[in-house]
Every structure is written in structure tokens, then in C-alpha cells.
Amino acid sequence: MGFFRGGVAQGAGLRKDLPSSGAADLRGLLDQGSGKRRGRAGVCGGLVLPTLGSVTLIATQSLTKTYGGRVTALADLTVAVEPGIIGLVGANGAGKSTLIKILLGLIAPTSGQVSVLGIDPTSDPAAVRARVGYMPEHDCLPPDLSASELVTHLGRMSGLPRTAARERASEALRHVGLYEERYRPVGGYSTGMKQRVKLAQALVHDPDLLLLDEPTNGLDPAGRDAMLALVHRIGTEFGISVLVCSHLLGEVERICDTLIAIDGGKLLRADNISAMTTATDVLAVEVSEGTEELAARLAELKLPVARDGRLLLVPLADDSTYDLILGAVAELDLPLHRLDQRRHRVAELFATRELSHA
């Protein structure tokens, strides 16, 4: 059924067979019963921080950050995630960067508790930073140094001895896909190469956790796919947990195990990605006439059909769902208007939320 699923191929090479431009319907997720919430991550109401097990990667408890007592960047954020690839999604200004800076111990939360790799970054930031690699969102590379020099130097700043720093720097640069270019000044690099250097410097000291702030910023679609594939590879093959920040849900959901969605500093949802996506893949069927007949026919086929105006919504179990629907339409000889996978962008979700703020 390749015709109908044309959009899927774009994300090829990534683990999830999901439409690359589409995104899960978070609104729908939020409305669903909380019974499904306990996946690999969850909203842990009764969490007691000091007794966190070693499996907990990041845990926050009622984390709040206000600037100057007026601007609220994070509000009562409670979340706990296990190792893996974690997507942190939210619109610009949702508090993603603030959360990352708190995790690094760069800024102190106004109230609440936080734990990274079992260490409290507010009391022992050096211990956290020794085991964490950080890739900032903004440009941060001196243009006149070569990638090799810069990453070696930053490796030494992370406490690697001189020769180890040099070896690890060239390894890290090789892993992100920079070869001979690494001896040229960074000033002449493309945006994609600069992003790779930023990733390499976060990897050089072999951290247990990478914090990536908008790693696909400024990249073209091919560059985005390459960067996401790289992040996915780091999370799976290298055995390093990754927290990847993005304002594009459709992007991070392709590589993540766990998704944390925040907006206006508040947690929208934190959950295992499979729990979210299986629930959201819905086929929308529209026929010019005979909607009732089709609904009845699909119900006979044991497909849970829902009505949404002129549309019939059928949960997408696997490819056979397409066959069943098309078979039913052909059988009833109805004029099929459209059959597509429901697509929602995170932007829609936040657009409605922002209206409610106003």
C-alpha cells in the first residue's frame, strides 16, 4: 500500500516506521486515560528523590524556576525517566533550555528537587558535569581553531590527560562523521559540520548522558535526518543516554524511547513513546456517500470505527488495516474521497494552548 503511505519513506533508516512530517496527536494522548501512563517513564506523584534507584536517569520533583519572581520558566515539574533516548519537546520558551541548565547545575531552581544520574546538580554540579556532555543550542565554536584542536582542548578541560584527549577527540570527530576536515578552521565549516563538532565536543569525555539542545537547529532536511540518525546511533550503539530537545515533535519522536512534552514550564506528558504512538496512529476515511454503510461494514470487520463529522476514524493496527478498509470500500462500491493517516503537528497543540494563556 505504498501509494497511501508515501510520506512514510522519508524517515527510512530510522527505527520507527512513522511519517516523518507527521506527529503524534498529543492532545489526544492527554485526554486518554492515565491507565496507560506507566511506561518507561511516567508522572511519578509519590516519588521520593533520595531513594532513587540507579536506573533513574533524570528525576525532578516539583521543580520550579522563576526569573526575578515574575517570569516563570518551569512550574512544578515532576518527571522521572529511565536511560535511553529521551525527547524533550516544547514550543520556544516552553522551558526546555532552562531545564537543561538546571540539570547541568548552571542555574539553581527556585524550588523543588532534581537528580541527574543519581546526583543532585544543585549540590554537586562538578560530579554531574563530569558524566554529562552538553551541546548548546547557539553557535559556540571559535572560528579560528580547527575542530581537532578545539575538541582536544575541551577534552582536557573535562579532565582527560593530554594524549587521551587527542585520541578521544579524533575518535569523537570520526564518530560524528568529520575526517580530514577536522584539521581546518571551524570558521569555514557548514552549519551541519558545526553541529557535528558541537556534538563531538559533548562526546569527547565519554559521558553517560548527553544533553542536546536543539541539535537539528538550522539544518536542511537531509542534515536533520543525518543528525537524528547520529543521535539515534549514539543512544543505541554507544550505550549513552541522550536527552534531545526540540520544538518539533515529529522529529524527535522518530528516535526517542521516551517523550517529555512541556509547555509554559508545565509538564504536558511524559511517557514511553510506544504508548503514545500506538494510540495515535489513526486512519481517516472519507467517502462521498454511504458513510453509514461503510461504518457498519467496518464494524462487522471488527474494526473499532469512530465518527468525526464526515470522517470515519479507524485505529491503524498494521498494514492490513488499509487492506480491510479498501476491501470494504470496493465491496460496497463507494466513491472513496480520501484515506490517510491522521497528522498533527506539535505546533497545533501549542497553538491551542497559547490561546488559552492569552
Partner 1 sequence: MPEPTAAAVRPAPTGVIHDIGYQRYEGPRLGRRQVFGALYGHGLRTAFGFGRSAKAKIFPWLVVGIVSLVAVALAAIRSQIGEPVATYAQFADAMSWLVIFFVAVVAPELVSRDLRSGVLPLYFSRPLPRSDYALAKLLALVTALWLLLGGPQLLMFLGAAFTTKQGMRGVWNELLDLLPGLLYAGLWAVVFASIGLLVASLTGKRAFAAGGIVAVFLMTTPIVGVLSILPSRAANELAGLASPSTLVQGVGIWSLGDLLVEGDPGEMMIGGFGPVYALAAVLLVAGATALLLVRYRKVAS
Residues binding partner 1 (CB under 8 A):
12-13, 101, 104, 106-107, 125-127, 129-130, 132, 134, 136, 138-144, 149, 153-154, 156-162, 164, 168, 171, 174-175, 177, 179, 201, 205-206, 229, 233-234, 237-239
Judged by beta carbon, residue 129 or residue 344, the one nearer partner 1 is 129
Closer to partner 1 at the Cβ: 119 or 298? Answer: 119
Grid cell at residue 188: 569555514
CB-neighbour burial class of residue 74 (10 A; exposed 0-12, middle 13-18, buried 19+) = buried
Residue closer to partner 1 (CB basis): 149 or 348? 149
Evaluate whether 89 touches 251 at the Cβ level (below 8 Å).
no
Q: What's the closest the beta carbon of residue 192 comes to partner 1, in angstroms? A: 15
CB of 132 to partner 1, least distance (A): 8
Q: How far is the CB of 200 from partner 1 (least distance, A)?
A: 11
Nearer to partner 1 by Cβ, of 28 and 185: the residue is 185
The beta strand positions in 14-68, using DSSP E, are 58-67
CB of 157 to partner 1, least distance (A): 5
Nearer to partner 1 (CB atom), residue 204 or residue 328: 204
| DSSP count for the chain of H helices, then E strands | 12, 13
Beta bridge partners of residue 286, listed in sequence order: 338
- Measured CA to CA, the distance from residue 177 to residue 189 in angstroms comes to 13
Nearer CB in complex with partner 1: 226/261: 226
| Of residues 8 and 164, the one with the C-beta less far from partner 1 | 164
Helix (H, G, I), strand (E, B) or coil at 290: coil
Residue 171 gets which letter from DSSP?
Answer: H
Smallest separation, CB 232 to partner 1 (Å): 9
Grid coordinates belonging to 243:
536527552
Question: Where do the H-state alpha helices sit in 301-357?
Answer: 319-332, 346-357
Taking the alpha carbons of 38, 40, 42, 47 in that order, is the dihedral positive or negative?
positive
The distance of closest approach from Cβ of residue 19 to partner 1 in the complex, given in angstroms and rounded to an integer, is: 17
In Å, what is the CA distance from 241 to each residue of 9, 122, 244, 334? 27, 21, 10, 50
Name the residue nearer to partner 1 (CB basis): 201 or 272: 201
Contact 82, 96 (CB under 8 A): no
State in angstroms the smallest separation of the CB of 96 from partner 1. Answer: 15
CB of 154 to partner 1, least distance (A): 6
State whether the Cα torsion 317-323-326-327 is positive or negative: negative
